[in-house]
Amino acid sequence: MSVSRQPSGASAERRQEFWLGARDQIPILVGVLPAGLIFGALGKAAGLPDLVVQAFSLLVFAGSAQFVALGLVVSNAPSLIIILAIFIVNLRHALYSASFSEHLAHLPPRWKICLSWLLTDEAFAVASARYRRPEKENAHWYLLGTGLALWATWQVSTAVGILVGAGVPESWHLDFALPLTFVALLIPSITDGPTRLTAVLAGLLAVGMGALPYLFGLVVAVIVAVGVGALAESRRRVRSTGGELE
């Protein structure tokens, strides 16, 4: 017979999960802080109103998409190109959601909406490790902690970037913070042949087509590399099960 938990005990466990999630994000926040600072400063330098730059972070809350959108706005790209580029860059979030769907299916809609809003690359990387542990009853509180820690840090760093503006010395090279953060998140996920193939191909294509306008090379690199990686993974699974491809 299962013993029901006391409300106070359940509440304490939820609080613990929340703060553990926030705590486990601290190492990644070291890379998020300068990235937000750079975004705020770049938006200010581009001549956008302060409230518009901050609204990017408040409402969009997607670092890579924000940088892509800002670059396209500055280059006077057509609105359709901006929307398409952001859509392609953020497609990975659909994969994150699909990966967590079985763990969050039992939650009410208000939880799903909140967690989907806060599900970023960094939150996904940290929370994925949490969901690999056996006890998952209150793991969504852990995910909430990771997401809110990132969201708050992104807002503060963007605001500081807006205030500091062009006063950030170029010698600091803070523009490397966001790519380095993504590299740190990516490396632990490269565990087999298909993921290695996807990462290498995406990097080569992105660099080789970097001169294309409107960051179109990045869009092509994502589509081609993910497609090739998915095909390689499909073939690997067929071989492992002894089946044959038709």
Q: What's the one-letter identity of residue 218?
A: L
124 exposure class (CB count in 10 Å sphere: 0-12, 13-18, 19+):
buried
Average pLDDT across each block of 10 residues of the chain; the chain has 246 residues. List them in order: 53 90 90 85 86 91 84 82 81 81 90 91 87 85 94 94 73 59 65 82 86 74 81 78 55
Q: How many helices (H) and strands (E) does the chain have?
A: 12, 0
Tokens 């770049």 sit at which residue? 42
Question: What residue ranges do the domains of the chain occupy?
Answer: 10-189, 191-246
| Residue 15: Cβ within 10 Å count | 13
* Separation of first and last alpha carbons in the chain: 51
Of 40, 59, 37, 185, nearest to 125 by C-alpha is: 185
Q: What is the C-alpha separation between 54 and 162, in angstroms, rounded?
A: 8
Instruction: Name the token pair of 55.
Output: 């609204």
pTM exceeds 0.85, yes or no? no
* pLDDT at residue 160, rounded to an integer: 93
* pLDDT at residue 23, rounded to an integer: 94
Residue 105 makes CB contacts below 8 A (sequence gap 6+) with none
Q: Are 104 and 111 in contact (CB under 8 A)?
A: yes
Instruction: Name the token pair of 126.
Output: 């940290």
* pLDDT at residue 147, rounded to an integer: 94
Instruction: Name the token pair of 239.
Output: 């071989």
